[in-house]
Structure 1
Amino acid sequence: MLLCRTSAVSQSIARWGSTARRRGAVLHPALSFNYRSCQSVSSTEGETQPVDAGSSQGQYRDSVLLPCTDFPIKLTGQKLLDRELEIQRMCGFAELYSWQRERKAKKEFCLHDGPPYANGDPHVGHALNKILKDIRNRFEMLRGRQVHYVPGWDCHGMPIELKALGELGPSSLSALQIRQKARQFAERAIARQKAAFQRWGVMADWDKCYYTFDGAYEAAQLKVFQEMHSKGLIYQDYKPVFWSPSSRTALAEAELEYNPEHVTGISRQSPPFLLYFYFLHLRSLIMLCGVSVLVWTTQPWTIPANQAVCYMPNAQYSVLKRADSGQLLLVATERAAGLAALLGTELESKGTFTGSELEGGICRHPTIPGKEVPLLPANHVTMGKGTGLVHTAPAHGMEDFSVASHFKLSVECIVDEEGRFTELAGPELANLHAMDEGTEKVICMLKESGALVREEPCVHSYPYDWRTKKPVIIRPSKQWFINTASLKDKAKEVLQKVRVMPESARGGLLSMLDRRTYWCISRQRSWGVPIPVFYHKDTGEALINKHTVSHISTLFKEKGSDCWWELPLESLLPPEVLKKSKAGPVEDYVRGEDVLDIWFDSGASWAAVLEEPEPRADMYVEGKDQIGGWFQSSLLTSVAVRNKAPYKSLVVHGFAVSEKGEKMSKSLGNVVDPQVVINGGTDPTTPAYGADALRWWVAESNVFSEVQIGPTALRSARDSINKLRNTLKFLLGNLQGFDPRTHAVDPKEMQYLDQYMLHLLRGYSIKVTDAYSEFDAGRAIRVLQAFINRDLSSFYFSIIKDRLYCEPEGSLGRRSCQTVLEEVLDGLTRSIAPILPHLAEEVYLHAPGHDGMWLCTLFRSGWVKSSSVWRRPGLEEAVEGACAIRDSFLSSIPGKNAAQYDLTVAIEPGLLFELMESLQEEPTATCSQLTELMMSARTTLTSSLPRDLPADTLLASGSFLINLEGGVIREDSAFSIAAVPTSAARCPRCRRYTSDTPDCLCPRCQSVLSVAA
């Protein structure tokens, strides 16, 4: 036969398409019997019907082997919750991580956990992130790798400090008291979050987590700090930083969020505005006096700090005369038309020249009498809006400060830490809040001096403190910085070697690096890792070097960072350290009061958590907000110390949003609490879905975009799991009494349909493995559902039920089928395990061959099997050729029962005929493999159709393309079929139309019962 003589791996292309073997047929009559009370068949596998015990059919009910299992088709409410917790206990969820760390493995997979912030209850964003990581970790563990995953928490920072203080002001407590309260608050939050993560089934050693407030972690962090300081990358300077008046601390750019609807100049007395103002009396060699320089700003409170007006050297500028007043204005030529429309008057050009000709120009300050400011060239001036002339206040703008540094301008800060004007702003402004009543006063001053040209409403994007949700300002202060400008080229270089998913996120990482010239790492708080610096009492000079930092690092490791406040200065600066530092006596110094930015805390986690000698993770997985946060701080610190990235790949997922795509908000009432999702709520509309439903939602979502969650998504997850349970119950029910250790059939002895199913199972295992490997659990679910719906329920299950139910229990045909079902069950169970660990372990406990093996849980027994033996040359062509014929047959009898027809298949001698002969050696048969595939009463295989066909014969034809040995053997074979209503009677046992007379058993059933007797 061809199956024996073809040796190369074959491929086939069927013209009839993939629907041939997938199309559902009218189910075999025997499939609807319900002979046993324990039998429960799903709707996809055939509805059950009651049978009259006194009928001729009822007398044979005990002879039919229908499915029987105590695996529940559905679990709801408290039963579901109890079962998941029971599975966690029975299957050792708590010990699994430690077990796999102790076993021998050729490869390690390291997923470094980005620390969630320890300042609140677990939320759905935590669920999205932690479950995504756990799916990948469980997959890697199942396929034999040793997983390195240490959960951690970010424990420091202003939000925790403020929440811990509550109503108490920071001045009422010492630094140590504040730190004690903050630690207690963080520990309570960690306990709540940790319990939730465990309930979600996240695999880890929860007794060995990392916390950024641990002494050992802080010591490792200081080691990174010291190495960067030794390389000159960390320095102290007086320069503008983002400052939060609401938090009274400096902020890094990663701690900002931009409000696109910020209104400039929130005022109680005047509307929001876009402010235009001018400087009077331009004096230069090229222009006459009396020309006003028209300048604009969206931050009028900074006008008193103005030190210059900047222009673009290569741009063209014009002197324009207002038609309504005759006033002369200096603006960029490119902006003239827009300004004329804004001012509501014609502007006549009186002269044009390049910006470089403005060099040496001097302007009179609009609010400070007698003060003059220069016109200076600057490359940051743009022509997109405004006038092409830029107001420059070096103390309150990053680019302004660069201009001041170049031209040696004064940098005077006119606002204090609370955002109020100081005495330097003048007596009229002192103590006014700069962004509120102070702005109003500046506008009044401009009006009084005649300098205000126009004010307009202006809504624009503006930075806010991401914790307090209030506007920040830019103000100079003495802070500690990292020189990221010297790091970014190397960081961009190493980032090119990192795999980023989705690839579109790479652009955000690179643009963030481009924009970041320095990183402010000092914070004016108590709850954090102290910057290990001492200051000379008289000179203010900083004492910090490898000797001082190394000593402090040792103390932190032994005692924790509280010792910075607890120990006397003599212990922090012992004589040997002072001697090595060539410093004066200890009484000349005071300890610093600033703490490190929490992004530096978490950014150094690679040094504290990842294993030596190569602390580099295979993967970091976090939300898209970490593009400017942890991803970047980790990259910069690692590049600074080691010239390499701390990760090989980055996975950037979206945020969890409501089903309407809205950001979750308590005020909108659309917040989804993962604990309520699992355990249910008081409202009847919030049932208990269990942890696996939450995990399914995560896996099924497109995590690279915004991830929607709500009642619809959760009900869909629950229904999908119930459908899956339906299939698993069918498999388990039909494996009753089957022991794979003694009953399994060798693939070579199996029927071809069973061998073909193993072939499909092998293809499924490859696809699902690829999906998990590509971090695409959603594709894994789609592959799973397609395999169940198409290959199993609509194809294999619908064909084999007669063999399963009506063949002798120990027959080769039935055992062959059961062997496949056991392999399918095993493959499905393992493939869903990363997503649904509770369900997978529950099935594993019910599966045959596991009795007495309670300690050998599924997660300790490996990944999906995929044997090359399951792919045999010619097998695919034989079964798929038969499926092409089956497709034509079923299409010719739409809505009819295939079992009520005798089928004749006519094929001219050739490859296809030989393939069909391998499925049916006799010309005519009622129990052949070909008849089973056709699901007909009888099948006849011939080279041509008979001429004397009955009048009610249904005819059809088709073809099948055979492609063997890589295309060496190709044959497009035609076939014809004739379907005739059978004259045979229905068998009362198997309900196939194969009996000679009504109410008499068919020959096959007679043989089965006689052997049983």
Structure 2
Amino acid sequence: MQTFNELNVFILFIQKCGFSELYSWQRQRNTKNEFCLHDGPPYANGDPHVGHALNKILKDITNRFHMMRGYKVHYVPGWDCHGLPIELKALSELKETQNLSPMEIRQRAKEFAERAIEKQKSAFIRWGIMADWANCYRTFDRKYEAKQLSIFHKMYDKGYIYQDYKPVFWSPSANTALAEAELEYNQQHVSRSVYIKFPLLKTPPKLASVIAGCSTVGLLIWTTQPWTIPANQAICYMPDSDYSIVKCANTGECYILAANRVESTAAILDTQFEVISTCKGVDLENGSCAHPTITGKESPFLPANHVTMAKGTGLVHTAPAHGVEDYSVASHHQLPMDCLVDEGGFFTEAAGPELQNKAVLEEGNEAVIQMLQAAKSLLKEEKCVHSYPYDWRTKKPVIIRASKQWFVNTANIKVTAQELLKKVKFIPASAVNRMLEMLDRRTYWCISRQRSWGVPIPVFYHKTTGESLINSEIIENVIKIVEQHGSDAWWTLPVEQLLPRKIAAKVDSHDVLDYVQGQDVLDIWFDSGTSWAHVLEGADQRADLYLEGKDQLGGWFQSSLLTSVATRKKAPYKTLVVHGFTLGEKGEKMSKSIGNVVDPDVVINGGQDHSKEPPYGADVLRWWVAESNVFTDVLIGPAVLSAAKDDINKLRNTLRFILGNMADFNPETDSIPSSEMYVIDQYMLHLLQDYAKKVTEAYKEYDYGKVIRLLQAFHTRDLSNFYFSIIKDRLYCEEEKDPKRRSCQTALVEALDVVVRSFAPILPHLAEEVFQFLPYKKESESVFRSGWINTNSVWKKPGLEEVVEAACAMRDSFLGSIAGKNALEHEVVIVIDPGLLFELMETLQSEESSSVSQLNEIMMASQTTLLSELPIEMATDEKIIKGTFLINLEGGDIREESSYKVIVLPAAKAKCLRCRKYTADSPLSLCPRCTEVMAGK
């Protein structure tokens, strides 16, 4: 093999078996076996990163393995192109953004996404990803958008999509609603938690006699969101729990709180509580309290099952506009649900002059706390460090805010979805429970977003009343327009084209011009979650595999499942493989501030200073992916990459040794039948078949880390350390065409073929390099066009294991006794009592003493003597190494433990100048074997 230059190999690879050409070639093969890996679309908002590399390379390894095994691989790469992050990044490139129209925003966003796609696509190709690059899917393509709206249409017709006023996760930093999948939780978020008293206004009838003796009574409330207090509509209690009426030692006031929270709350308030009476929660029925900051407002006591006794006071402040459980209580009891917070997270005019225009998470929070303090309702304020949801794109905290949105009723889908999910194969298997739990918690899915860059929700609103207008015909008409013109038409065409009068007249008496297009776009998870409908082929439209990161259990895996189940009652995938995230090599999150971010382009091409950031090439990146335990988080850094390079170099040395001994060998004419090969060579074929079986099974289970471990063990232990060291004398010293030499060359050719095919899906550049340097004729220009590992069943010879392993046990005894010394400076005498073990060794050496027998080759000595009894002149324990070996043949039917003795002696003859064995008659002569070989030349 010549000096390695991966870039040159890459160019050669592209020319001879380029990835796009290889993909189209394999799609044209005449085979019925199909394998479909549906590509979860990466987000088109930035440069390629190691997370992309992990995901795309895992997919490519999978596809190449299946292709080599005869499957027609269906793999169409795609990109997720809409949404807020792209919109924000596109606008950040402009100096002035205030007066941009929706179409100007959309055009800028599309241009940004297109640039990101090209950059990512180039990187993916450089990583060696084989795909249908000519037919990628992009979620902003008009055919894709039309197919997406057709799924929306079907779900609407089935009653799964509806509009409602509900509290949803809201991003003040992005001015839009969010789905749960668009959140990330900050475990170190600091909130201002407060303990508040709500003055008792109307005494619960069942507590009248108990409370009669108290001068003032308040209900104790704890919350980490003081800004929601102005929106309070009720206080909730747990009907079956115990509650206490206590007297505060510091103030003399009476408070009501959960009985099991009395002690902890008193400690927090730095006081003591005297328990006056205890009651059940149900006894609070028909009571109410005064709102602490709004004069004249009354908040009733209401029962609720979401009240927890694990923290707080056991009484829950209820603001229907800012909590899902609060909303449920309010719906049941018909409470007001007014929202006092606008889209930007500021208090509205309805909140009052003291709060208007204040940001609820900042000065608005402070203002509410001051109002509570002025009302003498604030008992305690402290910092609370807890897990809190953040917008995954802007990295800013979110709030829960009631607004009119469009939803998917997942409550009516998830039971069927969960049953179908149990039939999907998960790798690792534990991932199914996590996804089932996520589905169980999901009662609805908010699919509307208040942005410009996306697929419009095909609904119209009356200019005066705000009443919505949508039906099946309206949606169908919009789909036809989008299919022809793209979703830009929603913003560029007049309303009368989008909403023809003949369609509107069927459902409404108003004129079409009285309506305006809705400004909401669909959630990007709905965009990507309908990709199966656009990309997957055939009547079944199911992928064999989805392979993504663990975050997709609540993201793309789930949105794809919900849209597919809602429209056709089946999962869009048969198997889900879930991988972890990429972390720094010490297990820390990657961060530019820490300086541990790994750029895959730098990994491949090197940084500015190659001494610090050397160019490793794509195969090192691919090796890193494969060798990692991808089912957990994956570590990467300089030390990890350097180790990967070293591992590949060791493999290259193994391959170089084999190729270097193939120059004079033609497999078609020089191969030896396996039955006529040396026993050690037959044993290597036996090991090859075992290796091939194990590595194939590991690929089938997507356990590429195991593939790497098997490969390393085989090429270092079985080939380099064991087999190569044994056969070197035959390779280098026997006559060129001697069957003994051809025997080991035959085994080497088979070993090279099996090993190269076994790592080809992982290291395609190295595999192709080896294939190009084969000194003999090959069936195809590409290893990938010539199939998977093909071993012969006759290679499997379990009986050979006992022969070789017994000989190796004796060799180990010999080598262990001369540690650090040259084995060729010694002769060995092996003494075995007559029996099965002796008979097995006779198959390796029929004569009593030999320097060229198969047994001597394994022993690696200058000469080996095989005896059935100890010679009288050597009958002393000081020269004997004893051992035993258990022979196990015929699946255990033949078992015999035999003892042996190995006698180590200094070589009696001189060193041969050619083979270096001590078998020559004099120091200046050759041994008989070498004399004969040289005479033949």
**Could you say what secondary structure the match of 1:671 adopts?**
coil
**Could you say what secondary structure the match of 1:648 adopts?**
strand
Partner of 2:922: 997
| Distance in 2 between residues matched to 1:582 and 1:807, nearest whole Å | 97
- The reply to whether residue 549 of structure 1 matches residue 475 of structure 2 is yes
Partner of 1:434: 360
- The reply to whether residue 956 of structure 1 matches residue 887 of structure 2 is no
Partner of 1:706: 633
**Aligned residues between the structures:** 929
**Could you say what secondary structure the match of 1:975 adopts?**
strand
Partner of 2:662: 735
Cα 1:530–1:923, aligned 2, differ >3 Å: closer, same or farther?
Answer: same
Partner of 1:146: 72
Displacement of 1:527 in angstroms is 0.5
| Distance in 2 between residues matched to 1:764 and 1:961, nearest whole Å | 24
Structure 2, gaps ≥5 residues long: none
8 Å contact from structure 2 (residues 827, 907) kept in 1: yes
| Distance in 2 between residues matched to 1:546 and 1:612, nearest whole Å | 26
Aligned pairs for 1:687-836 (under 5 A) are: 687-836=614-763
Displacement of 1:575 in angstroms is 4.8
From 190, 194, 199, give the equivalent of 1:274: 194
Partner of 1:296: 222
Amino acid at match of 2:7: L
- The reply to whether residue 186 of structure 1 matches residue 113 of structure 2 is yes
- The reply to whether residue 420 of structure 1 matches residue 420 of structure 2 is no
Displacement of 1:343 in angstroms is 1.6
Aligned pairs for 1:32-431 (under 5 A) are: 70-72=1-3, 75=4, 79-166=5-92, 167=94, 171-265=98-192, 273-285=193-205, 286-287=207-208, 288=211, 290-431=216-357
| Distance in 1 between residues matched to 2:86 and 2:343, nearest whole Å | 20
Partner of 1:4: none
Aligned pairs for 1:583-622 (under 5 A) are: 585-622=511-548
Instruction: Give the TM-score of the pair, scaled to structure 1.
Output: 0.90
Displacement of 1:511 in angstroms is 1.9
| Distance in 1 between residues matched to 2:798 and 2:565, nearest whole Å | 53
8 Å contact from structure 1 (residues 278, 452) kept in 2: no
8 Å contact from structure 1 (residues 904, 945) kept in 2: no
Displacement of 1:611 in angstroms is 0.9
| Distance in 2 between residues matched to 1:444 and 1:737, nearest whole Å | 92
| Superposition RMSD in Å | 1.8
Displacement of 1:893 in angstroms is 2.6
- The reply to whether residue 686 of structure 1 matches residue 620 of structure 2 is no
| Distance in 1 between residues matched to 2:768 and 2:450, nearest whole Å | 51
Which one is further off, 926-935 or 884-893? 884-893
| Distance in 2 between residues matched to 1:992 and 1:424, nearest whole Å | 100
Partner of 2:809: 884
- The reply to whether residue 928 of structure 1 matches residue 853 of structure 2 is yes
- The reply to whether residue 636 of structure 1 matches residue 562 of structure 2 is yes
CA offsets per residue over residues 274-310 of structure 1, 9 Å max, x none? 3433334342212336321111111111111110000
**Could you say what secondary structure the match of 2:135 adopts?**
coil
8 Å contact from structure 1 (residues 844, 850) kept in 2: no
Amino acid at match of 1:150: V
CA offsets per residue over residues 5-44 of structure 1, 9 Å max, x none? xxxxxxxxxxxxxxxxxxxxxxxxxxxxxxxxxxxxxxxx
Displacement of 1:371 in angstroms is 1.1
Cα 1:580–1:988, aligned 2, differ >3 Å: closer, same or farther?
Answer: farther
Cα 1:816–1:582, aligned 2, differ >3 Å: closer, same or farther?
Answer: farther
CA offsets per residue over residues 332-363 of structure 1, 9 Å max, x none? 00000001111222211111110001100011
From 821, 838, 858, give the equivalent of 2:783: 858
Partner of 1:526: 452
8 Å contact from structure 1 (residues 892, 955) kept in 2: no
CA offsets per residue over residues 629-664 of structure 1, 9 Å max, x none? 111111111111122211112121111111222211
8 Å contact from structure 1 (residues 264, 274) kept in 2: no
Cα 1:416–1:321, aligned 2, differ >3 Å: closer, same or farther?
Answer: same
Displacement of 1:86 in angstroms is 3.2
8 Å contact from structure 1 (residues 280, 366) kept in 2: no
8 Å contact from structure 1 (residues 275, 300) kept in 2: no
Which one is further off, 954-963 or 459-468? 954-963
8 Å contact from structure 1 (residues 279, 294) kept in 2: no
8 Å contact from structure 2 (residues 198, 290) kept in 1: no
Which one is further off, 120-129 or 560-569? 560-569
| Distance in 1 between residues matched to 2:313 and 2:878, nearest whole Å | 88
8 Å contact from structure 1 (residues 952, 980) kept in 2: no
Structure 1, gaps ≥5 residues long: 1-69, 266-272
Cα 1:424–1:579, aligned 2, differ >3 Å: closer, same or farther?
Answer: closer
CA offsets per residue over residues 710-737 of structure 1, 9 Å max, x none? 1101111111111111111111001111
Amino acid at match of 1:188: R
Instruction: Give the TM-score of the pair, scaled to structure 2.
Output: 0.97
Displacement of 1:870 in angstroms is 0.3
Which one is further off, 973-982 or 707-716? 973-982
| Distance in 2 between residues matched to 1:567 and 1:504, nearest whole Å | 50
Displacement of 1:953 in angstroms is 7.2
8 Å contact from structure 2 (residues 198, 289) kept in 1: no
8 Å contact from structure 2 (residues 200, 288) kept in 1: no
- The reply to whether residue 462 of structure 1 matches residue 388 of structure 2 is yes
Partner of 1:23: none
Partner of 1:49: none
Amino acid at match of 1:297: T
8 Å contact from structure 2 (residues 187, 386) kept in 1: yes
**Could you say what secondary structure the match of 2:184 adopts?**
strand
Amino acid at match of 1:868: S
From 755, 759, 774, give the equivalent of 1:847: 774
- The reply to whether residue 942 of structure 1 matches residue 867 of structure 2 is yes
8 Å contact from structure 2 (residues 799, 890) kept in 1: no
| Distance in 2 between residues matched to 1:319 and 1:275, nearest whole Å | 17
Displacement of 1:890 in angstroms is 2.0
| Distance in 1 between residues matched to 2:437 and 2:550, nearest whole Å | 14
Partner of 1:868: 793
Cα 1:169–1:398, aligned 2, differ >3 Å: closer, same or farther?
Answer: farther
Q: Which has the higher contact order (CA 8 A, sep 6+)?
A: 1
| Distance in 2 between residues matched to 1:902 and 1:618, nearest whole Å | 60
8 Å contact from structure 2 (residues 627, 704) kept in 1: yes
Instruction: Give the percent of matched residue pairs that are identical in Structure 1 and Structure 2.
Output: 62
CA offsets per residue over residues 243-288 of structure 1, 9 Å max, x none? 11111111111111111222224xxxxxxx4343333434221233
8 Å contact from structure 2 (residues 194, 379) kept in 1: no
Cα 1:274–1:660, aligned 2, differ >3 Å: closer, same or farther?
Answer: farther
| Distance in 2 between residues matched to 1:760 and 1:223, nearest whole Å | 55
Which one is further off, 507-516 or 539-548? 539-548
Which one is further off, 563-572 or 472-481? 563-572
Displacement of 1:192 in angstroms is 0.3
- The reply to whether residue 453 of structure 1 matches residue 379 of structure 2 is yes
8 Å contact from structure 1 (residues 118, 153) kept in 2: yes
